[in-house]
Amino acid sequence: KEFGEISIKDLDQVAKSSFPLCMRHLFDKLREDHHLKHGGRMQLGLFLKGVGLKLEDALAFWKAEFSQKVGGERFDKEYAYNVRHNYGKEGKRTDYTPYSCQKIISLTPGVGDHHGCPYRHFSEENLRAALGRMGVGSHAVEDVMDKVRNRHYQLACTLMFEAIHSSSCDAGINHPNQYFSDSQKILQS
Ligand code: SF4
């Protein structure tokens, strides 16, 4: 398979193996609620574009979820534009870039929002639960929580990357799409 392209049928598998916590959380919430508010659709949508999901696949992916909540017709009317817009196919036709960690950490998610950086925006209790679900040991979780307490969110994410992949990440994590491609490089080697 060519690197830098991803199809819908591989999404669940790569979400488990190679999405950073911010994207894993949005992905799981979308699958659970069949809905995401605007901030979440932007953050996850642009990330998925960055990992190589083509526009037609992105439309099919979002529609499959949203139609379970709002119906396919409403998706076509109210949400499809947004997906095409992210791919530069509507409005000013800007090809929008996936958000960096710095940008995501600076966001201010409100009630009912699932975007943002979990290391920055989750309560300690929710973060611990989420880290547990990522399948790392309690020692690694404590190291991560230590970084979080010192507000080193990207270092916390880097430690998680290293714990999950049993591999060092010397450059550190500064972009969710970098997390993804570094992960895929390790898993495919
Ligand atoms: Fe996502 Fe970056 Fe936060 Fe990691 S540090 S969870 S990649 S925003």
Whether ligand 1 lies within 6 angstroms of the CB of 154 is answered as: yes
Q: What would the two tokens of residue 185 be?
A: 């490089």
Alpha helices in 75-135, H assignment, sequence order? 80-86, 101-106, 118-121, 124-133
Cα of first residue to Cα of last residue in the chain, in angstroms, is: 13
Average pLDDT for 42-51: 97
- Report the candidate in 111, 55, 53 with the shortest Cα–Cα distance to residue 81: 55
Whether ligand 1 lies within 6 angstroms of the CB of 144 is answered as: no
Task: Tell the residue nearest (CA) to atom 6 of ligand 1.
Answer: 22
Average pLDDT for 17-41: 98
**pTM to 2 decimals?**
0.95
pLDDT of 49 reads: 96
Q: How far is the CA of 125 from the centre of ligand 1 (A)?
A: 18
Q: Probe ligand 1: pick from 19, 99, 105, 119, max atoms within 8 Å of CB?
A: 119
Give Cβ neighbours of residue 77 (< 8 Å, ≥ 6 apart).
Answer: none
Q: How far is the CA of 153 from the centre of ligand 1 (A)?
A: 7
- Report the candidate in 51, 53, 12, 55 with the shortest Cα–Cα distance to residue 184: 51
Q: pLDDT category, 46, cuts 50, 70, 90?
A: very high
Average pLDDT for 118-138: 95
ipTM of the complex: 0.99
Whether ligand 1 lies within 6 angstroms of the CB of 21 is answered as: yes
Whether ligand 1 lies within 6 angstroms of the CB of 75 is answered as: no
pLDDT of 89 reads: 84
**Packed helices 38-51 and 176-188: angle between N→C axes, nearest 10 degrees:** 40
